[in-house]
């Protein structure tokens, strides 16, 4: 956009050159150089054409801004073959009989497949009836969502990290977050459910017909989708990103130990930046918040998979000192296949009942001696007084756990990672990085349920519990599964057992990124 604005200040000849060269400046890798596309703006509109061109380039297609001899495929929308031919005759082009003249359905099918597909008759432009000719069949428009039946429950959808609809789901997440900041739970959940549905789709949405029949898409959500398709962005999202309250809450909630209530209080007091908070000595901070501010830059820096695995090894070495037969599992987003995360979740159990109860205090005691902890808080188990399973979909569990800030020394990482740290001025000043970790102690007989719950994602777990309640008359949480019809608790030694109890096809952890 900056390039186009600047081009208005230069002579016409230079302006045309800038437009022609914009393709060569594309940041996207060309994967299918043998296919060169030109998308007609006629009857489509500039904003939609720009959106489709950008989408195709992100998929690896070569798309020209202007019609030139290198073009092999011309894509049009709401145009007949005769109309496109008439338009081509006005262009100073060589033999255009070699061109494939295609309707938009071929392009959308290519976007769904992620590669150029075979051209079928339904993809070719057709003649409109004229001069006594018989009626030509209307090009068949394929609705990708009609091909795949999408469940309203994330636990019945395979959702990998490959998101074909990031432009929409990113917008939904921002709007959901804003509703959450304003304590408007209904729309917040609605946008998160919609984002979850779109993340699971095996195709890219390029027109409104593609969302027909999809669950969890209300009128407001469809309005956002339509605006993004037409304009490439949502005006609602732009308004949110420019809103002072949203920006302040986004900053404040990124501080370790600061939740929505504290953010609301600080915002009303005028504390909208870190500088204000650090400068006001009268503001009483908790130990967690003090640590969160002191090591803010480290804690907002994403945690890599290598860092998470390095911490996991430290935890295993420490735990096995006290419980040689203990099981330590890296959970959360890293178990779902993510390469980066915000913190590290580690689950600890032991096959000997009751032996796991003292291990957390022993871990903390040893780490304090080794100067591995910046902050820690131990929350004792409340299992003895808990009513299981909880009736609330978003209920917290009752496990003993610790929320801590761990010192990860760079010598614990492999040489390649250490070199990356050495490039940072900050890491030259200190030889460790502050990383948030959660240690969760789980009784062995509840481990399958705890592992399922702590693996996530959040929306997957929420829908799994809704499914159990609404479809199976069961109650599920991180501790147990209760069959309300039979009046019994269902035992499980693995996640597969839980899926089987619920009559669900088992989904691998990397298929739960809802």
What is the rounded distance in angstroms from the CA atom of residue 449 to the CA atom of residue 442?
9
What is the rounded distance in angstroms from the CA atom of residue 199 to the CA atom of residue 193?
10
**Residues 472, 350 within the same domain:** yes
**Residues 155, 125 within the same domain:** no
**Residues 118, 154 within the same domain:** no
Counted residue by residue, the chain has a size of 514
Q: Does residue 509 form part of some domain? A: no
* 143 pLDDT above the threshold of 50: no
- 366 compared with 428, residue with greater pLDDT: 366
pTM of the model: 0.74
Q: Which of 109, 298, 345, 463 is catalytic?
A: 345
Residue with tokens 């359905």: 105
The confidence score (pLDDT) of residue 210 equals 93
* 148 pLDDT above the threshold of 80: no
Q: Does residue 77 form part of some domain? A: yes
Q: Does residue 257 form part of some domain? A: yes
Confirm whether 243 is a catalytic residue: no
280 is in which domain, residue-wise? Answer: 244-294
* 80 pLDDT above the threshold of 90: no
Residue pLDDT, tens place only, 184-213: 999 999 999 999 999 999 999 999 999 999
- 51 compared with 368, residue with greater pLDDT: 368
Six token digits for residue 396: 């917290």
Number of domains in the chain: 4
**Residues 248, 236 within the same domain:** no
Six token digits for residue 319: 């735990």
Closest Cα partner for 464 from 513, 504, 509, 508?
Answer: 504
Q: Does residue 13 form part of some domain? A: no
What is the rounded distance in angstroms from the CA atom of residue 217 to the CA atom of residue 222?
6
**Residues 383, 452 within the same domain:** yes
Q: Does residue 510 form part of some domain? A: no
Q: Which of 343, 397, 463, 477 is catalytic?
A: 343
Q: Does residue 42 form part of some domain? A: yes
**Residues 346, 477 within the same domain:** yes
**Residues 61, 110 within the same domain:** yes
**Residues 159, 228 within the same domain:** yes
C-alpha distance across the termini of the chain, in Å: 33
CATH number at residue 192: 1.10.150.110
The confidence score (pLDDT) of residue 388 equals 86
> Which of 44-53, 229-238, 328-337 has the weakest average pLDDT?
44-53
**Residues 31, 76 within the same domain:** yes
Q: Which of 54, 438, 445, 483 is catalytic?
A: 438
Residue pLDDT, tens place only, 108-121: 889 888 899 999 88
* 230 pLDDT above the threshold of 80: yes
**Residues 91, 196 within the same domain:** no
**Which band of pLDDT confidence, cut at 50, 70 and 90, is reported for residue 94?**
low
Secondary-structure breakdown of the chain: helix, strand, coil percentages, each rounded to the nearest 5 = 50, 15, 40
CATH number at residue 62: 3.40.50.10190
The confidence score (pLDDT) of residue 453 equals 98
Confirm whether 345 is a catalytic residue: yes
**Which band of pLDDT confidence, cut at 50, 70 and 90, is reported for residue 223?**
very high
**Residues 346, 480 within the same domain:** yes
**Residues 236, 277 within the same domain:** no
CATH number at residue 459: 3.30.460.10
Residue pLDDT, tens place only, 421-433: 444 444 446 899 9
Residue pLDDT, tens place only, 265-322: 999 999 888 888 988 888 899 999 999 999 999 999 999 999 999 999 999 999 999 9
Q: Does residue 483 form part of some domain? A: yes
**Which band of pLDDT confidence, cut at 50, 70 and 90, is reported for residue 19?**
very low
């Amino acid at each position: 956009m900056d390039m186009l604005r600047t081009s208005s200040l230069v002579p016409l000849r230079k302006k045309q050159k800038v437009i022609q060269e914009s393709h060569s400046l594309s940041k996207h890798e060309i994967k299918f150089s043998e296919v060169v596309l030109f998308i007609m703006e006629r009857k489509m509109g500039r904003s939609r054409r720009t959106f489709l061109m950008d989408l195709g380039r992100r998929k690896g297609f070569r798309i020209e801004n202007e019609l030139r001899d290198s073009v092999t495929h011309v894509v049009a929308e709401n145009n007949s073959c005769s109309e496109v031919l008439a338009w081509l005759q006005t262009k100073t082009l060589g033999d255009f009989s070699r061109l494939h003249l295609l309707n938009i359905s071929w392009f959308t099918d290519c976007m769904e497949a992620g590669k150029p597909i075979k051209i079928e008759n339904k993809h070719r432009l057709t003649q409109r009836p004229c001069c006594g000719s018989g009626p030509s069949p209307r090009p068949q428009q394929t609705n990708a969502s009609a091909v795949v039946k999408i469940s309203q429950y994330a636990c019945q959808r395979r959702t990998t990290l490959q998101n074909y609809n990031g432009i929409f789901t990113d917008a939904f997440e921002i709007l959901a977050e804003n509703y959450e900041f304003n304590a408007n739970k209904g729309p917040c959940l609605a946008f998160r459910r919609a984002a979850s549905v779109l993340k699971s789709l095996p195709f890219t949405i390029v027109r409104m017909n593609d969302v027909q029949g999809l669950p969890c898409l209300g009128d407001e959500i469809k309005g956002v989708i339509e605006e993004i398709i037409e304009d490439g962005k949502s005006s609602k999202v732009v308004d949110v990103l420019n809103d002072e309250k949203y920006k302040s809450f986004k900053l404040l909630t990124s501080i370790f130990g600061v939740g929505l209530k504290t953010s609301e209080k600080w915002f009303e007091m005028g504390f909208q930046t870190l500088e204000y908070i650090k400068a006001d000595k009268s503001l009483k901070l908790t130990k967690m918040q003090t640590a969160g501010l002191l090591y803010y830059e480290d804690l907002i820096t994403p945690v890599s998979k290598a860092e998470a695995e390095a911490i996991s090894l430290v935890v295993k070495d420490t735990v096995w000192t006290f419980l040689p037969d203990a099981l330590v599992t890296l959970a959360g987003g890293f178990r779902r296949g993510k390469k980066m995360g915000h913190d590290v979740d580690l689950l600890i159990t032991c096959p000997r009942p009751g032996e796991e109860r003292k291990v957390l205090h022993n871990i903390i005691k040893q780490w304090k001696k080794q100067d591995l902890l910046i902050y820690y808080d131990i929350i004792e188990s409340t299992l003895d007084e808990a009513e299981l399973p909880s009736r609330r979909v978003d209920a917290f569990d009752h496990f003993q756990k610790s929320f801590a800030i761990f010192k990860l020394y760079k010598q614990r990482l492999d040489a390649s990672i250490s070199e990356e740290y050495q490039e940072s001025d900050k890491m030259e000043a200190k030889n460790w990085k502050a990383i948030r970790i959660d240690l969760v102690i789980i009784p062995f007989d509840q481990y399958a349920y705890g592992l399922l719950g702590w693996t996530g994602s959040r929306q997957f777990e929420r829908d799994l519990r809704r499914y159990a309640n609404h479809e199976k008359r069961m109650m599920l949480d991180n501790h147990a599964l209760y069959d309300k019809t039979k009046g019994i608790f269902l035992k499980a030694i693995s996640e597969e057992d839980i899926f089987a109890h619920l009559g669900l096809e088992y989904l691998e952890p990397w298929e739960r990124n809802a």
